[in-house]
């Protein structure tokens, strides 16, 4: 599995608008081959950024999405520059060990 973490420093006052973009996003990421899931994580403190995690079968599936019309549509009409306190940061990871509670129940 391939996981991409987009760390987004949302400016105070823009939190709801940021969430709404994901609640009503134009793209259909779920329909993309190799997509597993997406999570939007709201920070629990003022110092942490928002994190958007996407999980993919492999890096190629993620790269295919980056070049898709869905990606372009999902990122069309972004929030204004003042909605962010600084540039975001994209991190990419390959899963080498995974565990969940289902195995212990």
pLDDT at 84: 96
Q: Answer whether residue 26 shows pLDDT above 60.
A: no
Percent of the chain with pLDDT over 90: 73
pLDDT digits (tens, 9 = 90+) for 74-103: 888 889 999 999 999 999 999 999 998 876
pLDDT at 22: 86
Mean of the per-residue pLDDT values of the chain: 92
pTM of the model: 0.87
Q: Answer whether residue 105 shows pLDDT above 90.
A: no
pLDDT at 89: 96
The rounded distance, in Å, linking the Cα atoms of 67 and 45 is: 34
């Amino acid at each position: 599995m391939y996981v991409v973490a987009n760390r987004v420093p949302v400016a105070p006052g823009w939190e709801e608008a940021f969430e709404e973009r994901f609640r009503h996003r134009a793209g259909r990421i779920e329909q993309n081959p190799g997509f597993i899931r997406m999570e939007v994580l709201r920070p629990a403190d003022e110092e942490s950024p928002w994190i958007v995690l996407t999980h993919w079968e492999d890096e190629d599936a993620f790269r295919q999405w980056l070049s898709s019309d869905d990606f372009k549509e999902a990122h069309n009409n972004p929030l204004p520059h003042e909605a962010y306190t600084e540039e975001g940061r994209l991190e990419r990871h390959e899963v080498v060990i995974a565990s969940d509670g289902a195995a212990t129940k």
